[in-house]
Amino acid sequence: MLKKVLIANRGEIAVRIMRACRALQIPTVAVYSTADREALHVRLADERVCIGPPNVRESYLNIPSIVSAALSFGADAVHPGYGFLSENGDFAEACQRSGLTFIGPRVRNIRLMGDKPRARRVMEKAGVPVLPGTSAGTTDVREAQAVAAQIGFPILLKAAAGGGGRGLRVARSPEELAAVFGVAEEEGAAAFGNGAIYVEKYLEHPRHIEFQIVADQHRNVLHLGERECSVQRRYQKILEESPSPILTKRQREKMGAVAVKAAEAIGYTNVGTIEFLLDQQGHFYFIEMNTRVQVEHAITEMVTGIDIVQAGILAAAGEPLPWRQRDITFSGHAIECRIVAEDPRTMLPSPGTIRGYHAPGGLGIRVDSGVAENSVIPVYYDSLVSKVVAYGKTREEAIQRMRVALSEYQIAGIKTNIPLHLQILQDAEFLTGNIHTRYLDKFLTRPIARPAASAAERLVVNA
């Protein structure tokens, strides 16, 4: 078993990892920038160390500082969480070269899946369905035009070296492709240090379905079911649920088997997700693999009863999985709302100091948060405040519990997107499960019958 874990992250995920380590009786070391000196994850850790100023390149992306901190504090393992360095092969390799266990997959897994065109080629060879497109990145718009002419418009331009919605642009004509290619290239270069772009067929109104993978170092791979992640804005997920309201048992088994095959094809270890697009005819296509724990892992934990973060820690320590696929069962329905610090009307960031904080509770409610009373939401980092998860025996029960929980949630001093979530949870299209990746775009442009604001909504909007 691991002796001490340094958590190379901040906020909600750092707190979540600490709780998993504490349950396994593993001490933790928190790293923080000067902007996070009083942050909750810093207060909760067994030990803590400042690794630099607010700028992420000098703190949370500073590989030498993080590795040095781990060695100085006697940690024998590093957990990267999600974001920051979690899918950085150089970081994983630096940890391993320093004798530290990287709590994640092998370096070659990270590098392979981080190279999106190469990942497509590997999946095609393994028999995993992929969308028509290029098999290598390019910086030549003429090459992209040639591919688009072959597969047909609309097409999607994607950064070859990354994900998370950065470097993505849709083109519906040769003229539009010429106009947006340079923009996608610049975004990819800025976000990932690589401006190469690959071209992929664009599906109109698909659903975004991802499967949770858990694997050990003994060639055991299984899936923990799917998550419906179609409610998103600018390719960023807002609300997720498990199971998907649309998949049949047969579809679930088929997609799950393909997800496992995809992970086995690269010899994957630890936790990760295989992401698919599902079209209106029921065909599904691999889009990418995330080689880390996902923000929305909590809803899978609720319907399976399996602690995914603990599973990743134990897998990194060399422990074999205690389950086989036949042991995994699914019960009930879980929904997660990502609460972020932003103005609910303009959707602009809303940093500041939290006052009057009161998290909801009750049967079936879980709040994963990195904040408390007087916590500061700084301008430098992701605006995620917390994740509210509601569990019920049915989807309808989970939705109703989430409505109650959000109406109770009090966060003053900043503005949040709680009112937006409450509106979605009363929308007829969402309630019937008629959603897709462009659902929220359309929802935000049509007139909405807004119910009378709850006490929590009035508090948030007027803050």
Can you tell me the mean pLDDT for 97-112?
98
291 and 181 together in one domain = no
Q: Give whichever of 166-175, 361-370, 442-451 has the largest mean pLDDT.
A: 361-370
Task: Using the predicted structure, report yes or no on whether residue 454 has a pLDDT greater than 80.
Answer: no
Among 128-142, 336-350, 379-393, the least confident range: 128-142
- The whole-number pLDDT of residue 450 equals 45
CATH code, domain with 11: 3.40.50.20
For residue 187, name the pLDDT band (cuts at 50, 70, 90). confident
**Segments forming the whole domain that contains residue 75:** 5-103
Dist CA 255 CA 212 (whole Å): 11
147 and 90 together in one domain = no
Query: Would you call 213 helix, strand, or coil by DSSP?
Result: strand
Among 8-22, 93-107, 178-192, 208-222, the least confident range: 178-192
H or E stretch at 376: strand 376-377
Which amino acid does the sequence have at 91?
A: F
45 and 183 together in one domain = no
Q: How far is CA 280 from CA 24, 138, 230, in A?
A: 44, 30, 13
Dist CA 75 CA 132 (whole Å): 45
Among the listed residues 292, 338, 366, 401, the single catalytic one is 292
Examine the residue annotation and report whether 219 is marked as an active-site residue of this protein. Answer: no
272 and 367 together in one domain = yes
Can you tell me the mean pLDDT for 147-162?
88
Task: Using the predicted structure, report yes or no on whether residue 160 has a pLDDT greater than 50.
Answer: yes
163 and 213 together in one domain = no
Q: Are residues 426 and 452 in contact, defined by beta-carbon separation less than 8 angstroms? A: no
Can you tell me the mean pLDDT for 177-203?
87
For residue 457, name the pLDDT band (cuts at 50, 70, 90). very low
Dist CA 86 CA 98 (whole Å): 17
The model's pLDDT over 230-285, given as tens digits with 9 standing for 90+, comes to: 999 988 999 999 999 999 999 999 999 999 999 999 999 999 999 999 999 999 99
165 and 53 together in one domain = no
CATH code, domain with 398: 3.30.470.20
The model's pLDDT over 51-63, given as tens digits with 9 standing for 90+, comes to: 999 999 999 999 9
pLDDT > 90: what percent of the chain?
A: 83
- The whole-number pLDDT of residue 163 equals 62
Task: Using the predicted structure, report yes or no on whether residue 417 has a pLDDT greater than 70.
Answer: yes
Dist CA 359 CA 45 (whole Å): 21
- The whole-number pLDDT of residue 137 equals 83
Can you tell me the mean pLDDT for 325-347?
95
Examine residue 122 and state whether it is found in any structural domain, yes or no. no
Task: State the pTM of this model.
Answer: 0.90
Task: Using the predicted structure, report yes or no on whether residue 350 has a pLDDT greater than 90.
Answer: yes
For residue 208, name the pLDDT band (cuts at 50, 70, 90). very high
71 and 183 together in one domain = no
- The whole-number pLDDT of residue 194 equals 81
268 and 387 together in one domain = yes
Task: Using the predicted structure, report yes or no on whether residue 361 has a pLDDT greater than 70.
Answer: yes
Task: Using the predicted structure, report yes or no on whether residue 463 has a pLDDT greater than 50.
Answer: no
Sheet strands side by side (includes 169-171): 169-171, 155-159, 197-201
pLDDT > 70: what percent of the chain?
A: 95
Dist CA 166 CA 187 (whole Å): 6
Examine residue 117 and state whether it is found in any structural domain, yes or no. no
Q: Which has the higher per-residue pLDDT, 292 or 455?
A: 292
Q: What is the mean pLDDT of the chain?
A: 93
- The whole-number pLDDT of residue 447 equals 63
CATH code, domain with 189: 3.30.1490.20
- The whole-number pLDDT of residue 139 equals 87
196 and 214 together in one domain = no
Among 125-139, 270-284, 422-436, the least confident range: 125-139
Q: Are residues 402 and 360 in contact, defined by beta-carbon separation less than 8 angstroms? A: no
Query: Would you call 160 helix, strand, or coil by DSSP?
Result: coil
For residue 135, give both structure tokens: 């098999």
Q: How far is CA 168 from CA 177, 441, 453, in A?
A: 12, 16, 36
232 and 335 together in one domain = yes
The model's pLDDT over 7-41, given as tens digits with 9 standing for 90+, comes to: 999 999 999 999 999 999 999 999 999 999 999 99
156 and 49 together in one domain = no
Looking at the structure of the chain, the number of domains it has is: 3
Q: Which has the higher per-residue pLDDT, 413 or 345?
A: 413
The three-state DSSP-derived secondary structure of 63-114 is: HHHHHHHHHHCCCCEEECCCCCCCCCHHHHHHHHHCCCEECCCCHHHHHHHH
For residue 459, name the pLDDT band (cuts at 50, 70, 90). very low
Name the region of 331 (left: φ>0; alpha: ψ -120 to 50; beta: rest).
Answer: beta
Backbone angles phi, psi at 127, to 5 degrees: 85, 15
User: Contacts by 138-141 with C-beta closer than 8 Å and gap 24+?
Assistant: 138/196, 138/197, 138/198, 138/199, 139/185, 139/195, 139/196, 139/197, 141/177, 141/178, 141/181, 141/182
Among 101-105, 128-132, 309-313, the least confident range: 128-132
289 and 409 together in one domain = yes
